Amino acid sequence: MRILLVEDDAKLSQPMGVALREDGYVVDIVGSKSAALAAVDTVGYDLAVLDIGLPDGTGFDVVQHMRSRNSAIPVLILTARDGVEDKVHGLDLGADDYLVKPVALKELAARARALIRRGHCGSGPMLRAGGLDLDTVGRQAFHQGQPLPLTAREWGALEYLAARAGRIVAKEQLLQALCGWDNDVTVNAVEMIVHRLRAKVECCGVNIRTVRGLGYLLERDDRP
């Protein structure tokens, strides 16, 4: 899962980035409106965290831009303590939630989890794929109550595909979800990750199909 963090103060963005990465997210940090617009137009994010005051505009401009392009990516805005007007304005423009600065890192991580969850499955922290139960908070897959050993990237791929079960996910899209800008993972590496993941989850009734020329499809298990 990949998060865009827009904050021009590095003293604030740095610890927020660390906290979110520790939670297993891929995090891209930018410090201006123009960089934020370019990022949301090119990368498929699972969440955007937006500061309001930016050197070349505002976080409001970014929400407005996203919503005008029918982007449904969840948005969390960062507001000042006395920023009641900012909160109202942000929510009216289509932000989903807000946090008051200075941000408590644990709260940021919890809000991020909740928003991403709502964005993908509209429900609780557990995802189901075939015979696997995915605990998206503990980042662990279980088969018949037993934890299934997965590497961090295998887990990331499984969670991403399971949240989009029944839909085709392009390799490029999965690549973007698994690595940030400063990380040169290749499409070949993604293929290897999926190859190993597939071997591990096959026996748990999870079928990850390769759709030639298009990407991967985790088949939706509609059996009762």
* Site residues, Ca ion (CB under 5 A): 8, 51, 53
Closer residue to Ca ion (CB): 53 or 94 = 53
Closer residue to Ca ion (CB): 4 or 141 = 4
H helix intervals, the chain = 10-22, 33-42, 59-68, 84-93, 105-120, 152-162, 171-178, 187-201
Shortest separation between residue 7's beta carbon and Ca ion, angstroms:
6
- The percent helix, strand, coil of the chain (3-state, each to 5) is 45, 25, 35
Q: Environment class of residue 42 by beta-carbon count within 10 Å: exposed (0-12), middle (13-18) or buried (19+)? A: exposed
| CA neighbor of 195 nearest in space, from 167, 134, 224, 154 | 154
Closer residue to Ca ion (CB): 14 or 151 = 14
Shortest separation between residue 110's beta carbon and Ca ion, angstroms:
23
Looking up tokens 């293929």, which residue turns up?
191
Closer residue to Ca ion (CB): 32 or 207 = 32
Closer residue to Ca ion (CB): 82 or 184 = 82
Closer residue to Ca ion (CB): 53 or 205 = 53
Give dist(CA 224, CA 221) in Å, integer: 8
Q: Which residues share a beta bridge with 26?
A: 2
Q: Other C-beta atoms within 10 Å of 170: how many?
A: 15
Shortest separation between residue 15's beta carbon and Ca ion, angstroms:
15
Shortest separation between residue 34's beta carbon and Ca ion, angstroms:
15
Q: Is the dihedral angle over the CA atoms 6, 12, 13, 18 positive or is it negative?
A: negative
SS3 state of residue 163: coil
Angle at 97 between CA 94 and CA 99, to 5 degrees: 130
Shortest separation between residue 125's beta carbon and Ca ion, angstroms:
31
Shortest separation between residue 57's beta carbon and Ca ion, angstroms:
11
- Whose CB is nearest to Ca ion? 53
